[in-house]
Each structure stands twice: as structure tokens, then as C-alpha cells.
Amino acid sequence: MALPLDIAKEISKGLADRLVIAKVDGELWDLERPLKGSCKLELQDFERPEGKKVFWHSSAHVLGEAAEKHYGCQLCLGPPTDEGFFCEKAIQDRSVVPADYPNLETLSNPATKEKQKFERLVMKKEDLLEMFAHKKHFIETKVPDGTSTAVYRCGPMTDLCIGPHIPHTGRIKAFMVTKSSASYWLNDANNNSLQHIYGISFPDTKQLKEYKNSLAEAAKRDHRNIGKVREKQEQELFFWHDLSPGSTFALPHGARIYKLVELMKQHYKDDMFVLDVDKDKFALKPMNCPVHCLIFDARDRSYKELPIRMAEFGDDTHIFCMPSQIESEMDFQLPEWFKLKYRGPDVHEDPERVTRPVMIYCAILGSLERFIGILTEHTAGKWPFWVSPRQALVVPVAAPFKDYASEVAQRLQDSGLFVDMDNGENTLPKKIRNSETAQYNFIPVVGEEEMKSQSVNVGNREDRD
């Protein structure tokens, strides 16, 4: 019988080399598993979501093999996740620490260089119970009596696994251990403690480099790093404390952002129905869900228009989409109540056939703290002028011009700007560098010439960038 991989080779060697998995009549299928007859065949590479999951599932076996060598333990689970994969291990008398990660990566190298094949075997339940005694719970609960299921052999390791997998470990060109955590068997604190080791892998070393760059960029944009107090302070906007883990403590400059966003909220409140309840004020939040349903139903809709996104400031956003466009649970009720419908791609077969859309809810503004955190990361701390907590820093070039610098700062403050002044003892270049680190939008510099002409020499952050 033909193999999916052989068919791919007939099309192109390049295609065959980058393939991860096949799909046969809607079922994921090993590339080297014989086809049973006439079928619908799809060939998927790493860029397809299902191909990525299979690639990472196979990589979890490589990590499991490395962990067994390093810790002398047994693999419990090794599934893919949305951001890579993890393997769950029962490791006695020690924890996995970051210092272990390089060793695990080194131990994974031989497995990928050896191009260990993933071989699919089918075993009866009674044989599984004998071979995988440490997985008795899974076998007894997942495999019906009198039936068989798949196991996969890869290099020195054979594991209970329904697959499917990539043809061999040589397809994994880049491999990285990312983090670890503790857990309990079956997520029950009364059971034995386990260790989760997480990783990510790619079919190209360039992709791992891009991933590491994205991690570095995310760290630079992390609102916790941008906003917190440091020895070498950056923006000093807010901080958190163990005495109140759920609270965000706004520092003076952070409070400036909070007040601007609060102002938006206050204007939004002006047209709300407010009630006095026990000396407190409560307001009825307008519900725009039915409104968006009516807008959707205002005319005939086609599947080609989906997804349709509707939003209003300070309120919920709704996304109308096909079931195939979502991956998690949503609301199926409102579209049913409002009898919403669209014409699907098969409308030519039955012009009267219509389909219900799915409605996704998104709270864009949400709590002020969450909104400010999102805004911090979106701007990477380079605040647009309208919401910037540091709109201007007035800098005198020398001590004799401090009074004029104070006058300029006061006039700008009186006009409603958030202005600070650096009258410290640092040199002018040092003051400029500090202002750049703190992300001031403008830096009015004043000296003798500016004082005489009652003017300022303005530096612009965008020009420096």
C-alpha cells in the first residue's frame, strides 16, 4: 500500500522534507503509515496548526528521553501545548532547576542527530498493563477491556501514545527547554508530587532565533518591568507588594496615567443611569449585546463576511464568526434567540439553507489597572503624548539658568501639561540620557540665549528615536 510520504515525494522532494503529518479522511495519520485504500489525503507542514501540534508532541518524546537519561525517571505524560510541549516526570528527592536546562538540551542533541524513527505498534490492553505498570490508571480508564491501542517506539524509549508523530527526530532542527514547574499526580494534592518540564522546538534554527528575539522583546515590553521601581529607575510608574498581591500601587507618575484613563471613564458615566444605594453610587451598565445582534441581522449575511467585529468605546466587543473560526467555548445562545444566520459556502446546493453564527465576547477596556497594563506593553513604555506621564522635562544647561527653567516648567504646568524639571547636579549629557531612559516626549533645554529671548530649545523624543 502507498505511504503519504511517498506520494509527497512524487510531488516534490522539498515538500516531502518539510512535511510533518498527513490527514486521511479527516484523521491525522503518520506519514509512513500505509494508506488503506482510496481516500482524501491532506499533507501538513509545521505552519499548519495541527502539524505544529504533532511536531511538538514528537518533541516531547525527545525531551522525555533526555529527562530519563538525566534524572533516571519515568515519563508520565508528554503532550503538546499551544506554546510548545511539556513532559511530566516523577523525580525522587530533587526538583528541576534552570541550571538543568542546558544539560537537557545537550542530551536531546544525540536523539535528533540519530534521526530516531517513530515506529507505531499496536498492543492489547493486557499487554499494556504488564509493560506500563506505572501508567495503570490511564490504561484502565482510557482503553476498554478486550481492545488494543497504539504505542510508539523512538530510540531507546517506548511509550503508551496514540500519536501520530513525525517520521523521525531528525526533523527537529532547534530545541529549547523553556521552564519547569511542580504539579501533583492527576492534579490532586493528596497524590505524589511531579515535575513539569516545558520546551519548544522548530524545524529550522532561524525560527528558534526569532522566537528568542520575540521573548526578549516581550520582556522589554512587560509592564511589570517598565513600570516598577528599580535601582536604575526607568519610569517608576507602579509596583506590587507581597502584603497585598492583588493590588497595584500607583506612584506619582503612574497616577497621572490612571487619572487620564479615569477621566475617560467619568465622561462615559455622564450618560449612565446612576442609583444611590447605601450611601454609595451604583450605575446600570448599558448592554450592547442585543444591539450588535440587531446590527448583524439588519441584512442578509454571507460566510465570506465573517468574522464581523463590532465594538463601542468602554463597552463589550463582539465577534460574529463561523464555528470553524473558533478554538474555545463561546456563546451560542444569543444568536439562537435573535435567530441570526448567514449563508454558508454550500448555499449553491440549497439556497434556503442558513447557518447560525457564533458570538464571541471581548471586554476591551475592563479594569483600569488591566487597561493600563495593556497600554504599557502596547506602547513599550513610549507613551503617546496625550496619555504620557512625562510629557516634558525642562533642563537648564547650567546653574545660572535654574530660575528660568523653573519659570518655563511652571508656565507649561499651568497650561495643563505633565512637566518635570531636572535641576540636579548631573552634567547636561547625563540629564539628556536620563530623560531618554524615562521616555519624556519633549525636552525643553534652556540656557543664556533662551533666557534672553524668552524661548526654549525643544528636543523631541521621536527625533532621538
> How confident is the prediction along the chain (465 residues), in pLDDT tens digits per residue?
799 999 999 999 999 999 999 999 999 999 999 999 999 999 999 999 999 999 999 999 999 999 999 998 878 889 999 999 999 988 877 889 999 999 999 999 999 999 999 999 999 999 999 999 888 988 999 999 999 999 999 999 999 999 999 999 999 999 999 999 998 888 888 888 899 999 999 999 999 999 999 999 998 899 888 887 655 546 888 888 888 877 888 888 888 887 777 676 666 666 667 778 777 777 766 666 787 888 888 888 888 888 888 876 556 778 888 888 876 547 667 788 888 888 887 766 676 677 888 887 776 556 678 888 888 999 999 999 989 999 999 999 999 999 999 999 999 999 999 999 998 889 999 999 889 888 999 999 999 999 999 999 999 887 765
Q: Would you state the pLDDT for residue 329? A: 46
Q: How is residue 407 annotated by DSSP? A: H
The gap from C-alpha 217 to its chain's centroid, in whole angstroms, comes to 13
Which residues fall within 8 angstroms of residue 233, CB to CB, at 6 or more apart? 438
Smallest Cα–Cα separation from 458: which of 402, 446, 419?
Answer: 446
CA distances to 290, 318, 325, 337, 362 from 307, in Å:
18, 10, 8, 20, 14
Q: Would you state the pLDDT for residue 351? A: 66
Cell numbers for 14? 522539498
Cell numbers for 296? 448583524
Smallest Cα–Cα separation from 8: which of 22, 26, 25, 28?
Answer: 22
Cα separation, 314 vs 413, in Å, equals 29
Q: Would you state the pLDDT for residue 464? A: 64
For 61-117, list the strands marked E by DSSP: 74-77, 80-81, 84-90
Q: Would you state the pLDDT for residue 77? A: 87
Cα separation, 132 vs 75, in Å, equals 11
Smallest Cα–Cα separation from 94: which of 182, 188, 178?
Answer: 182
Residue 427, φ and ψ in degrees, nearest 5: -70, 165
Helices in 297-401 by DSSP H: which ranges?
333-337, 368-379
Kindly tell me the burial class for residue 446, based on how many C-beta atoms sit within 10 Å of its own C-beta (0-12, 13-18, 19 or more). Answer: buried
Q: How is residue 309 annotated by DSSP? A: E
Cα separation, 174 vs 85, in Å, equals 14
Q: Is the pTM of this model over 0.85?
A: no
CA distances to 127, 137, 221, 341 from 217, in Å:
50, 43, 6, 42
Which residues fall within 8 angstroms of residue 312, CB to CB, at 6 or more apart? 288
Asked if residue 20 lies in contact with residue 80, where contact means CB atoms within 8 angstroms, the answer is no
CA distances to 27, 184, 240 from 24, in Å:
5, 37, 52
Cα separation, 418 vs 435, in Å, equals 14
Cα separation, 319 vs 305, in Å, equals 12
Q: Would you state the pLDDT for residue 347? A: 63
